[in-house]
Amino acid sequence: MTSPAVAAKPKGLLNALGLHRPELRAWAMYDWAVSAMQTVITTAVFPIYFISVAGAEVSKPEAAAWYSWANTAGAILIAVLSPILGAIADYRSAKKRFLGVFMLLGVFSTMSMYFIMQGDLFLACTLFVLSLAGATGSMTFYESLLPHIASEDEIDRVSTGAYAMGYIGGGLLLAINLAWISNPALIGLPTGDNLTAEQSTLPARLTFVSVGVWWLLFSIPTLRGVPEPPRLIEADETPTENPITVAFSRLRETLREMRLFKQAFLTMLAFTIYNDGIQTIVRMATVFGEELGLPRSDLITAILIVQFVGIPFAFIFGALASKLGTKRSILLGLVVYTGICIYAYTIKTVTEFYVLAGMVAMVQGGTQALSRSLFASMVPKHKSGEFFGFYSVFEKFGGILGPAVFGIAITSTGSSRSAILWIIAFFVVGGALLTRVNIAEGERMARDADARTHAA
């Protein structure tokens, strides 16, 4: 059912970008906010700092393995919590409150990275796991708001538009961080060859603080400007029950009804597999480049290329979905990812790494944004928190096996290059499952479930 607020079909640039209403723009700002963490901490600056500073007392392959296992631990932590908390958020109408709690966890963990010094491998792992849990946990509740604010005909554009906002926000802060890391004197920090360990790491450590401040400030529009979906309890529930009891009851009920939402679960399964490949590329890119001996400034520049080249391509994928269909557009992205893996296996120079970054930028945002909107179109709105909790579980398991494979390959071979080609299997298997998804049937089952709950 489409509310009057989303019934109108405005024309113009903002409509084409999926940002034509205040609540849509406010929602997209969380992508802007959290992408700073995902870009600077998960992808660019922190992995290098982890290997070279926190892991300075062990070999680079061993430090890379520690980083892989920290990614795995963070994924497992949030995978356990997401479905339960998602069901509680649905029952209590508390999606924004949970979003805020996880956001604060991530913000303070990220800012605490300032205290990581040479050899602090355990502290670095702990804070990274908590920061990752804060980001991914908050995204569960953020994404569960999508089907409540976007109509069926605009949901792809809204999702890809938000991803583009994320590219802008994450890329802008990374550019600022790169400027003062390259030239600390810009912000009045000491320079020279005779710096202490604390002085030499200060630019990077201040970067971690800046991420937390950025994340906190730009979360405010989302928390203030997006309405909390109205509370809607099911026919067999009462408003005063224990929310934890209700959560487990809902989870059991949803698992029993899995056949009714077969297409949504099949989409999650396909996403789990091909997203494993995507997340491995994102999280291990700088570690891979560091192992190849590429200059650190060039590695971060490559991440900037992904951020800014990715902006137009995120919008392009939103438009492409309206022409080819959402599923075909995602499959096209997976074909490109397969080519990326083959090319990555051969690279040796900085220029080739830049080309690789540009190829990733073409498909990364669009593929993930359309996966999000495809799933959102097939879930009952009154259970969006619970379903996106499951989505988060599947997404996190999609971030467990890939880094784990990388860690095992590095440990056994002493090099991450051999693991690159293994990632292709994730795209092939995930894409094959996605071809079996019947989108029309999935959308119909979601609408029917909402209609039954409203009628009750």
The tokens of 13 are what?
A: 């640039």
Question: Cβ neighbours of residue 65 under 8 Å, at least 6 residues apart?
Answer: 407, 410, 411
pLDDT of residue 391: 83
How many domains does the chain fold into? 1
Burial class (CB within 10 angstroms; exposed 0-12, middle 13-18, buried 19+) of 207: buried
423 DSSP 8-state letter: G
If DSSP states are collapsed to H, E and C, what string results for 18-49?
A: CCCCHHHHHHHHHHHHHHHHHHHHHHHHHHHH
Question: Cβ neighbours of residue 229 under 8 Å, at least 6 residues apart?
Answer: 93, 95, 145, 148, 381, 384
Residue 9 lies in a domain: no
Q: Is the model more confident about 230 or about 138?
A: 138
Query: What pLDDT band is residue 4 in, cutting at 50, 70 and 90?
Result: very low
pLDDT of residue 6: 42
Q: Which residues of 42-66 are buried (b: 16+ CB within 10 A; e: fewer)?
A: bbbbbbbbbbbbbbeeeebbebbbb
Residue 282 lies in a domain: yes
Burial class (CB within 10 angstroms; exposed 0-12, middle 13-18, buried 19+) of 150: buried
295 DSSP 8-state letter: -
Domain interval for residue 120? 20-455
How far, in Å, are 36, 51, 263 from residue 167 at the CA level?
9, 25, 30
Residue 297 lies in a domain: yes
Is 144 in contact with 82 (CB distance < 8 Å)? Answer: no
Q: Is the predicted pLDDT of residue 33 greater than 90, yes or no?
A: yes
Residue 8 lies in a domain: no
What's the rounded Cα separation, in Å, for the pair 86 and 446? 17
Residue 235 lies in a domain: yes
What's the rounded Cα separation, in Å, for the pair 281 and 11? 37
The tokens of 367 are what?
A: 């593929």
pLDDT of residue 131: 95
What's the rounded Cα separation, in Å, for the pair 143 and 141? 5
What's the rounded Cα separation, in Å, for the pair 145 and 155? 11
Q: pLDDT by residue (tens digit) across 279-299?
A: 777 767 766 776 677 777 787
Query: What pLDDT band is residue 234 in, cutting at 50, 70 and 90?
Result: confident
The rounded mean pLDDT for the chain is 85
**DSSP H helical segments within 257-293, as ranges?**
262-291
Main-chain phi, psi angles of 388, to 5 degrees? -75, -20
Nearest to 100 by CA among 44, 34, 188, 49: 34
DSSP 144-204: HTHHHHS-TTTHHHHHHHHHHHHHHHHHHHHHHHHHHHH-GGGGT---SSS--HHHHHHHH
Q: Is the predicted pLDDT of residue 151 greater than 60, yes or no?
A: yes
Q: pLDDT by residue (tens digit) across 336-350?
A: 999 988 888 888 888
Question: By mean pLDDT, which of 226-235, 244-253, 279-288, 423-432 is the weakest?
Answer: 279-288
pLDDT of residue 125: 94
Q: Is the predicted pLDDT of residue 5 greater than 60, yes or no?
A: no
- Report the percent of the chain where pLDDT is more than 70: 91
Q: pLDDT by residue (tens digit) across 184-206?
A: 998 888 887 778 878 889 999 99
pLDDT of residue 373: 92
Q: Is the predicted pLDDT of residue 70 greater than 70, yes or no?
A: yes
What's the rounded Cα separation, in Å, for the pair 4 and 426? 41
Query: What pLDDT band is residue 8 in, cutting at 50, 70 and 90?
Result: very low
Q: Is the predicted pLDDT of residue 3 greater than 60, yes or no?
A: no
Residue 147 lies in a domain: yes
The CATH number for 408's domain is 1.20.1250.20
Is 409 in contact with 68 (CB distance < 8 Å)? Answer: no
The residue whose two tokens read 């609540």 is: 23
Residue 12 lies in a domain: no
Q: pLDDT by residue (tens digit) across 82-130?
A: 888 888 888 888 899 999 999 999 999 999 999 999 999 999 999 999 9
Is 456 in contact with 356 (CB distance < 8 Å)? Answer: no
Question: Cβ neighbours of residue 302 under 8 Å, at least 6 residues apart?
Answer: 285, 289, 353, 354, 356, 357
The tokens of 85 are what?
A: 């908390």
pLDDT of residue 398: 61
Mean pLDDT of 313-320: 89
pLDDT of residue 10: 52
Residue 290 lies in a domain: yes
Q: Is the predicted pLDDT of residue 450 greater than 90, yes or no?
A: no
Query: What pLDDT band is residue 76 in, cutting at 50, 70 and 90?
Result: confident
Q: pLDDT by residue (tens digit) across 363-382?
A: 988 898 999 999 999 988 88
Query: What pLDDT band is residue 308 in, cutting at 50, 70 and 90?
Result: confident
Q: pLDDT by residue (tens digit) across 237-276?
A: 778 888 888 888 888 887 776 677 889 989 989 998 898 8
The residue whose two tokens read 């604060």 is: 104
Q: pLDDT by residue (tens digit) across 374-417?
A: 999 998 888 888 888 888 777 766 666 776 776 676 666 666 67
pLDDT of residue 455: 65
Mean pLDDT of 47-66: 87
Query: First vs last Cα of the chain: how many Å apart?
Result: 16
